[in-house]
Chain A
């Protein structure tokens, strides 16, 4: 069974540019989560999808961030325009049920904004 995959693994962009991160959850997992770890700080929750619906987006930092999950399969997280403080590692996780004992994490996308 394939795990959670994320693309790209690394992205380096300039301030003001746009970047789109992609997450493919484990097949059949309705719940998809985005988290972010800014350098040296804790991993913070961004949002939670149940199928294609946003269940909780309380962690989204501002309106420069847009997450979608059309069709309830893969998800994208777009940052537009990117700022320096957006640099960090963006993790995606999926689980078969909400609050499931285990959330399965992807390897993360390291975003560097110059």
Chain B
């Protein structure tokens, strides 16, 4: 298996940037995903990064990957109240089909 660690809570003011961090243990992880769960809804894939990349930018989202330290982060620029949700980091191990999730980080955006 794989251990995935995330902080449980993060609060930011509307308009500020949010940075959600994640550490994982299996260096063979090929894809690393960020999922978002809004209240009462399922998990929605936000973005992902392939393990041979250091950074991926997608509109307000920036994913940074430090393979050496096995550290993944998700930066949300200009955070909006609609970004309030739980964010899960989920690496996919080489040869595996199932995802390993962290506990999720609950992001609260203060107006």
Contact call B42/A108, Cβ cutoff below 8 A: yes
- Least CB distance, A56 to chain B, in whole angstroms: 7
Assess the B43–A105 pair: CB atoms within 8 A. Answer: yes
Stretch at the interface among A13-21, A35-43, A67-75, A77-85: A35-43
- Taking the closest CB of chain B, its distance from the CB of A24, in whole angstroms, is 13
Also in contact, A45 and B45, with CB within 8 A (given A99-B92, A101-B31):
no
Q: How many A-B residue pairs have CB under 8 A?
A: 56
Q: Tell me if B's interface is mostly helix, strand, loop or mixed.
A: loop
Q: Which of B57-65, B74-82, B97-105 contacts A (4 or more CB under 8 A)?
A: B97-105
In the docked arrangement, what's the CA distance between A44 and B88, Å? 12
What is the bound-complex CA distance between A107 and B38, given in angstroms?
A: 10
- CB distance A42 to B97 under 8 Å? no
The range of chain B's interface size is: 20 to 34
Chain A residues with Cβ below 8 Å from B102 are 42
Q: Within the complex, which residue of A44, A55, A105 is in contact with B42, where a contact is CB–CB below 8 Å?
A: A105
CB of A98 within 8 Å of the partner chain: yes
Query: Knowing A59-B98, A101-B31 touch, does A42 contact B41 (C-beta < 8 A)?
Result: no
Sample of 8 A–B contacts (CB below 8 Å): A4-B42, A33-B98, A35-B98, A48-B98, A91-B43, A99-B97, A102-B45, A107-B40
Q: What 8 new A-B contacts, CB under 8 Å, besides A41-B103, A42-B103, A91-B42? A: A35-B98, A45-B98, A56-B97, A93-B43, A98-B97, A99-B96, A105-B43, A108-B42
B binding-site residues for A, Cβ under 8 Å: 4, 31, 35, 40-45, 48, 88, 90, 92, 96-104
A interface residues (Cβ-Cβ under 8 A, vs B): 3-4, 31, 33, 35, 37, 40-45, 48, 55-56, 59, 91, 93, 98-99, 101-108
